[in-house]
Amino acid sequence: MSMDGDIVLVPVQLIGRIPGLSKMGPKEENHPTVGGTCLLCQQQFAALDYTTILPLGPGGDPESRTLARNGKNYDGVGMEVHWSCATGESGSEIIIQ
């Protein structure tokens, strides 16, 4: 699958907040996506970053499409982005002492 699709800017009415996103991290230095690019900000993923996976849909797999149409769980396509790019929240933990 190509990840070269265009990112489009859309009004807030079309975005809202995606429910159920999982905050993942902090990334360890040897995590396989460290050095990969977040398509929302064009910055590389680095150790200690927090990220999430944006669910995009069933993709091109016919079986996944059928399951999605019927409201069933399916294996689909997602895109890893920085937690802050997906939510606006800080990507780092704030430690209050």
Closer of 50 and 82 to Zn ion (Cβ): 82
Closer of 64 and 82 to Zn ion (Cβ): 82
**Positions that interact with Zn ion (CB under 5 A):** 38, 40-41, 82, 85
CB of 70 to Zn ion, least distance (A): 34
CB of 82 to Zn ion, least distance (A): 3
Distance of alpha carbon 78 from alpha carbon 56, whole angstroms: 5
**DSSP secondary structure string, 2-50?**
---PPP----GGGT---TTPPPB-PPPTT-TTTT-B-TTT-PBP-TT--
CB of 3 to Zn ion, least distance (A): 14
